[in-house]
């Protein structure tokens, strides 16, 4: 049985078919959403699940990500705020420069690269890299839900990091090196190392591989 959700004045229907979660925009009227959900459920009951297009709109995806993030970081308000502000900033960029991009599957490496170029104009290197790394974490959630097969942000190279003083080798530093070599993202890293703010993980960001392939080769 599916359900109807309302996000920013727009109704979405969500349902499961073939063991997968589906989400579809249904307009601004509840009655239309109810009719659409009924039609979809009739298709599924009639064995027509393969004819249903699977996608998720960005507002719906971002809301789902934030709901899970708030549950995971229940004692890390600063990290939740960083994810939220990153989504707001990225969404504003899309609205202005790519208004036609409305679905998660429309995000490409070229688009994320354009966002990086946009950031470079106003932000310091560390902020640019942190933002791209947070976008990576956010889009990994799309893979987890099954709406993406690949993370487009993984194909965008970080800027060269500013030189920093030599760091002492500590147990936490070595643990970070091990986790990052396994492809663990900033969010998971900050949880495993019990960091008070996800941005503190940037301290170890020089160790982060540029792509998933780098992590496993």
For the stretch 195-207, pLDDT in tens is: 777 777 776 756 5
Distance of CA 163 to the CA centre of its chain: 29
Listed ranges 20-34, 144-158, 176-190; the one with the highest mean pLDDT: 144-158
| Residue 15 vs residue 68, higher pLDDT | 68
Cβ-Cβ contacts under 8 Å for 100 (sequence gap 6 or more): 106
Q: Given this model, what pLDDT does residue 91 score?
A: 96
pLDDT at 53 over 60: no
Cβ-Cβ contacts under 8 Å for 31 (sequence gap 6 or more): none
**Residue 22 · residue 54 · CB < 8 Å:** yes
Burial classification of residue 10, based on how many CB atoms lie within 10 Å of its CB (0-12 exposed, 13-18 middle, 19 or more buried): middle
- Percentage of the chain beyond pLDDT 90 is 24
pLDDT at 180 over 50: yes
DSSP 203: G
Q: Given this model, what pLDDT does residue 194 score?
A: 80
Q: Given this model, what pLDDT does residue 217 score?
A: 26
DSSP 70: H
SS3 5: strand
Q: Given this model, what pLDDT does residue 5 score?
A: 80
pLDDT at 110 over 80: yes
């Amino acid at each position: 049985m599916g359900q109807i959700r309302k996000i920013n004045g727009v109704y979405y229907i969500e349902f499961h078919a073939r063991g997968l979660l589906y989400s579809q925009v249904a307009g601004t009227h509840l009655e239309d959403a109810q009719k659409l959900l009924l039609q979809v459920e009739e298709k599924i009951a009639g064995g027509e699940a393969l004819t249903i297009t699977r996608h998720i709109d960005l507002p719906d995806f971002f809301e789902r990500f934030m709901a899970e993030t708030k549950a995971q970081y229940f004692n890390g308000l600063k990290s939740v705020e960083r994810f939220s502000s990153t989504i707001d900033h990225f969404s504003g960029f899309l609205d202005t420069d790519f208004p036609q991009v409305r679905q998660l599957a429309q995000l490409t490496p070229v688009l994320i690269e354009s966002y990086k170029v946009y950031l470079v104009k106003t932000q310091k290197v560390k902020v640019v890299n942190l933002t791209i790394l947070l976008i990576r974490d956010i889009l990994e959630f799309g893979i987890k839900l099954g709406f993406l097969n690949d993370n487009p942000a993984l194909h965008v190279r970080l800027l060269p990091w500013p030189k920093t003083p030599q760091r002492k080798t500590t147990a936490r530093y070595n643990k970070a090196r091990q986790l990052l070599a396994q492809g663990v993202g900033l969010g998971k890293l900050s949880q495993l190392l019990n960091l008070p703010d996800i941005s503190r993980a940037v301290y170890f960001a020089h160790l982060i591989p540029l792509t998933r392939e780098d992590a496993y080769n």
